[in-house]
Amino acid sequence: MIRLRNSSKILFQILFVVCLLISNFYIPEVQAKTLREMREELEELKEKYANNQLQIDLTEEEIEQTEARIASIRTTILDIQENMYELRNTIEQLNQDIIVKEEEIKDILVFFQVANGENSYLEYAFGAKDFTDFIYRLAVSEQLTSYNNELVEQYKKDIEESERKTEELKQQEVDLNEERDDLEVEMAKLGDRLEELDSDSLSIEEQLAIMESEIELYTSLGCGEDQTIEQCSAEVLPPDTTMWRPTPTGYISGYSGWRVSPIDGDTEFHHGLDMSDSGANWDDYPIYSIANGIVVYVDNSNTSTCGGNKVYIQHYINGQFYTSGYWHLRDVTVEEHQVVTKNTQIGVMGGYPATEYWDECSTGAHLHLELSDKPFNQENGGSESIYGLRDGFLRPELNINFPSKGVYWSDRTTKY
């Protein structure tokens, strides 16, 4: 039984590793596109962007309305609390008035009790000048007693009405607090939706910039509207036979593949090879193209929240298309559509948070090198995920001559 359990455990581990390997090396099939099809996709992307902006506007309007309603509720609650305070004062005053009136009634009742006695001296005690005056005073006292009794009853009714209004106001306050709480929850959801829409907007904007640059490039190179990008690229790209390391000196600091993110601690698939050099946070180490090619996209806006400044270069090596991506650049020294060789410096290693503060996906200066075996397009150069090259993903460490992790190199071509 123990052997059977151990065998099952080993089999499960083997299947898990096989699944990881299959997922790591899976390359999706992508149909070859023509320049005309790329223009059609560009129009679709523009429509998607316009709809995204509309959703942002509607969400912002809904947020404004919700904020206004919350503000109105808060004002109403303050008014209710003020009204309840006034009602409490009214009830307190009415109770005091009742006490006063009840004391007056008691005095008048004492008068009646004494007046009905046989003491002939009462007329003097009550200050009556004569018997007629005494009778008059009795009548007035009776009227006062009746009036005070009516006042006391009215006061009691006023107290009951004030207490009823107070309970109604308390319930209104409870209901309004519940509505306010629900609206604040809704506000949080709207805020999350707006943040997501804003993020999508930035992603679509970058995709638009990439596609427009790509179309401009292939148009300037003379590609036909119905000619596939692969066919055109094979005709116009400067050919090459091999790839060199992008830095004259350095060492591998992180492989591509599954890893625990140094940013948030989540498990993620790292679509690039990380490399650095001693003192890279402060020294400006040059970055070179890994092969001859054409710069197809440059992001040097210093506003990218993940990856910092980036450069993408398209290559044609031994009859095969490749796209290389260079992330976390402190400076970019090439322009879009520029023809480069392996000896062309394209930028400077960066990614140090204290300097490149806009780059949120780096803990220290390094180069994040990506590689794809597809011509550059919005699928393998966009920002749909933290690490971009999904279409045709290749491990740079398996296609370029790098030493093992942590081993220092001192030139770009030495064999290991």
Which domains are assigned to the chain?
31-226 (1.10.287.2610), 237-416 (2.70.70.10)
The model carries a pTM of 0.59
C-alpha dihedral sign at 376, 380, 382, 383 = negative
> Each residue of 198-253: pLDDT tens digit?
888 878 887 888 788 888 888 888 888 998 887 887 788 888 999 999 999 999 99
> Each residue of 148-182: pLDDT tens digit?
677 778 878 888 888 888 898 899 899 999 999 99
Residue 203's contacts (CB-CB under 8 Å, 6 or more residues apart) are: 382, 383, 384
Q: Which residues of the chain have pLDDT under 50?
A: 1-31, 117-125, 378-389
- In total, the chain counts a number of residues equal to 416
Residue 294's contacts (CB-CB under 8 Å, 6 or more residues apart) are: 217, 236, 237, 238, 313, 314, 337, 338, 339, 340
Residue 125 has what pLDDT? 39
**Residue of 372, 390, 363, 400 whose CA lies nearest to 276:** 363
